[in-house]
Amino acid sequence: MTAPPDYAVTLEWEDGRTADLSVAGDETVLAAAEREGLGLPFGCLTGACATCTGQVVAGDLVHRREPRALKPRHLDAEYVLLCIAVPRSDCRVRVGAAIQRELVANPWK
């Protein structure tokens, strides 16, 4: 059996920082980021809470299981849950706490 290929994933934060990761084809983006010591927000690790939401800028990420925390309109807008998302090509992904705020209205505003 052949191992899935590794992909180059570039993470992009709102403040302009970027980080390049090598992500194995069967590894989640969040797991690769944790392996490299990058601090991405996460909560449930099952695709239910959306704390780890990112947005694909280029490339292809797929979810290992149903992303229960994302609505169809979020998926149409290329949002992904990094705790269950694995790459299928080299990618660029917007990350950080600000991305989740784009999905959830803040009742305190």
Question: Which residues have C-beta within 8 Å of that of residue 3, sequence separation ≥ 6?
Answer: 24, 25, 26
pLDDT in tens, 7-53: 999 999 999 999 999 999 899 999 999 999 998 999 999 999 899 99
Complete edge-to-edge strand list for the sheet that includes strand 53-58: 18-24, 6-13, 91-95, 53-58, 79-81
Q: What is the pTM of this model?
A: 0.90
Q: Tell me 64's DSSP state.
A: S
Q: Where are the alpha helices (DSSP H) in 1-109?
A: 29-35, 72-76, 97-103
